[in-house]
Amino acid sequence: MDRAAVTVGPGMDMPIMHDGDRYELVRDIGSGNFGVARLMRNRADGQLVAVKYIERGEKIDENVQREIINHRSLRHPNIIRFKEVILTPTHLAIVMEYASGGELFERICNAGRFSEDEARFFFQQLISGVSYCHSMQVCHRDLKLENTLLDGSTAPRLKICDFGYSKSSVLHSQPKSTVGTPAYIAPEVLLKKEYDGKVADVWSCGVTLYVMLVGAYPFEDPDEPKNFRKTIQRILGVQYSIPDYVHISPECQDLISRIFVANPATVSTFSLVGPLVLHILCFEPLTNIVYTEDHYP
C-alpha cells in the first residue's frame, strides 16, 4: 500500500490509506454536491462516526481546505467534533462525531413549531456554539437548521456542523462573497461588499430562532414562498412580521428585533452581547447543564 505523504493544502500532509483499515461501513446517511456521507464504525473501539467523502481532484478546493483547517481548530460541546482526515486512493475522507438525533430542521418539521421554552433551549445552545466559534476568530457563514444536528439524548444537545463556507479572521481575508442559504442570508452579504462574518452569523441565528417559534421563514412571502427575488427584496428591506396566531413574549420579540436590523454596525456579535441578552431578555442560562471532558468525544 502506498503511504507516501500527499499535500492537499497548508498544514495538511497525510498518508494515503484505505478507510477500511480503520473503519467499517454501517450505511450511507446523505449525499450532496460535496459527495457522500456515511455512518462508519471504528474497528478498534466500536464507536460510530460520520465520514464525509469528497472525490479527490477539483472538488478539493479552497472551501474544503478551509473547512478542515477551521473545523479541526474548534472543540466545544455544541460543535460536531472533528476527528481526523484520511486520504484514500480516490477520496478525501473527513471523520467527525456522529449525531444520532438528526437535524434540528427535521424536529421542527415534525412539530410544526416549538414552544418558546423549547426554542429557548435550542437557541441558547446555538449561540453558545456560535459565540465560541467567534471567540476562536471563525465565522461559519452558513448557519441554518440543516446545519444544526442533535445527539440522541432525551434533552438533545445541539451540534453545529458543516464548516465548508467558514472563514478565519486570522488566516483569511475579510469576507465579501455571497455565500450561504438564501432564507438565512443577512442584507449586508447580499450587497457584495466586505462584511463582518460574525454579525452575519448573528442574523442567521435570528432566522433560526424565528423559524423555531413561527414554523416559517421570516423573509419569505407567505403567498410566494419560493419566489427568490421577493425573498431577497424583503431581506434587504428587513420586512418581516410575526403572525397573529403565534404568541411570542415581548422579550423574545425584542430580541428578534435587535437581530433583524438593516445596519449591521448596530448589531454586536454574541461573544459580546450573548450573556447580556440572556439576562436582560429573560433567556435564562441553562444552569442545570454542566459540561466536562466526558462531553468531548
223 and 133 Cβ atoms separated by less than 8 Å: no
Residue 52 among known ligand-binding residues: yes
Instruction: Round to whole Å and give the CA distance between 171 and 190.
Output: 23
CA angle 128, 132, 138 (to 5 degrees): 130
6 and 87 Cβ atoms separated by less than 8 Å: yes
The strand ranges marked E within the chain are: 5-7, 13-15, 23-32, 35-42, 48-55, 82-87, 91-97, 138-139, 148-150, 158-160, 167-168
If DSSP codes are grouped into helix, strand and coil, which group holds residue 263?
coil
Instruction: Round to whole Å and give the CA distance between 50 and 30.
Output: 10
Q: Which residues of 81-120 are buried (b: 16+ CB within 10 A; e: fewer)?
A: bbbebbbeeebbbbbbbbbebebbbebbeeeeebebeebb
Catalytic residue among 2, 117, 142, 196: 142
Q: Is 45 a catalytic residue?
A: no
CA 1 to chain centre: 37
Catalytic site residues? 142
Which residues line the annotated binding site?
Answer: 52
Which residues line the annotated binding site for ATP?
Answer: 52
